[in-house]
Amino acid sequence: MTSVLKGNFQAAKSVEAKDKPEADDLDSRFEREAMKKLGGSIAYVAKKKIKWAEDENP
Amino acid sequence: MSAGADSIGLQLVAKMGELTWDRHGPMAIANAERNLAFKNMGKSLAALRKEKLGEGDTAIVIAAGPSLKRQDPAKTLLERGYKGAVVTTESALLYCLRQGLVPDLTVTLDPHATRIVRWFGDPHLSEAALKADDYFSRQDMDRAFADEMAANREILALLDKYGPQIRIALSTSASDAVVNRVLESGMQVFWWNPMFDDPDDAASVTSKLQAMNRFPCVNAGGNVGSAAWMIAGEALSKAKVALTGVDFSYYAETPYRNTQYYKEAVDLVGEANLDQVYIRLHNPHLDAWFYTDPAYMWYRESFLEMARDADFQTFNCTGGGILFGEPINFCPLDDFLRNYA
């Protein structure tokens, strides 16, 4: 689109086209917000059990 | 399992680690920083390794899944005179105390600012707060919570009475409301950090947390039930740990509305598409179907991984739910007690 639309004047400021329309950003942000509410209580870390502090190792 | 590999539910399971961080990570860290001020109001979880909790080499974990009210494990333990260690989630505390069972240890983990304190009795609970959040009244859980104000008064009184007898493995991620209530009720505090990432990486969030407070870091497996199991096996050094109330799912006939994440699932996909979020599993030990949501499915998968790495044996005596598969021994609680306790 930007390649075919040309103005017949020089803009005072150059305007950069955004990669994605703002609506898409909003959609994905809302989706992310909705999805995170489905998250669990806390993390799971694979292959780990308990790490004792150095001064309390069994 | 009844869900296509491309179902929304299974896609969410794959993202659950990052979604959980987004939901609770920063809150949990902030709570841990604030709780540093209370460090000397308790001991480290490491101190429990020197205490004898229960006789013998077994422990029973009691969590508050939907099977709890159907199976009534506390009644069985009392009738059988079980002498081993009883470790409960905070959500099963009211159930246990009502049954006359004072656990050897209770565990709390979730950093939520207002909900978790309800398991301990919320001194500031109001009708207005209940109207704003139907989390407890909507779910298929302990019937005692049907009248929430009455249940709150009851748990407040029970904890004021039994608090000093109860040890609590208190996660540094707990909210100020929970910490205040725990301290106020005189519970014996044993602090621990939940793992957030690789504790062996010096630059990790977990390592920095441990450097700050010197408490042990526990892989909680995403939820308090799994944390209770890990603590029973690894901190209390019990060789055989049996689970009750660890369903990680709902009975097939439970309406979606009565599940924990119902409102959030509706917000994401709409009421008409909920079948895409929930995942159905057949339990071959019971020849029965159950269904679950992405978070609980993630808990299940994580638990199975942890159980495979564990140095102790796991018995699932829940009598329902979706936690089955190698290396878990799925059996009735009576059988476990007869053979090992």
Contact B115, B133 (CB under 8 A): yes
CA pair distance B249, B3, nearest whole angstrom: 15
Say whether residue B229 is in contact with chain A using an 8 A CB cutoff: no
Which B-chain residues 12-31 have CB contacts (< 8 A) with chain A? 12, 15-17, 19-25, 28
- Secondary structure (H, E, C), B268-297: HHCHHHHHHCCEEEEECCCCEEEEECHHHH
Give pLDDT, residue B41. 97
pLDDT along chain B (341 residues), means of 10: 78 95 95 98 96 97 96 98 98 96 97 94 93 80 76 95 97 98 98 97 97 98 98 98 98 95 94 96 98 97 98 98 98 98 93
Q: How confident is the model at residue A1 (pLDDT cuts 50, 70, 90)?
A: very low
Q: Token digits for B289?
A: 């179907």
Q: Token digits for B314?
A: 């796991």
Give pLDDT, residue B139. 77
CB contact under 8 A, B19 and A51: no
Give pLDDT, residue A7. 60
Q: How far is B81 from chain A (nearest CA, A)?
A: 31
Query: Position of tokens 């700050």?
Result: B212
What is the ipTM metric for this complex? 0.92
Give pLDDT, residue A20. 57
- DSSP secondary structure code for residue A32 in this structure: H
CB contact under 8 A, A39 and B214: no
CB contact under 8 A, B222 and A36: no
Q: Please, what is the Cα angle at B312 between B306 and B313, to 5 degrees?
A: 90
| pLDDT at residue A19 tops 70 | no
Give pLDDT, residue B118. 94
Q: Find the Cα–Cα–Cα–Cα dihedral B184, B185, B190, B192, rounded to 10°.
A: -60
CB contact under 8 A, B268 and A34: yes
| pLDDT at residue A8 tops 70 | no
Give pLDDT, residue B96. 97
Which B-chain residues 188-207 have CB contacts (< 8 A) with chain A? 194-200, 206
Among A27, A44, A55, the strongest candidate for a mutation testing the B interface, having the largest count of B CBs within 10 A, is A44
| pLDDT at residue A15 tops 70 | no
Among B24, B133, B200, B311, the strongest candidate for a mutation testing the A interface, having the largest count of A CBs within 10 A, is B24
Which B-chain residues 310-339 have CB contacts (< 8 A) with chain A? 310
Q: How far is A17 from chain B (nearest CA, A)?
A: 30
Give pLDDT, residue B212. 97
In chain B, residues with a C-beta closer than 8 Å to the C-beta of A38 are 12, 19, 261, 264-265, 268, 293-295
Question: Smallest Cβ distance to A43: which of B194, B210, B267?
Answer: B194
Q: How confident is the model at residue A2 (pLDDT cuts 50, 70, 90)?
A: very low
Q: How far is A23 from chain B (nearest CA, A)?
A: 17
Q: How far is A22 from chain B (nearest CA, A)?
A: 20
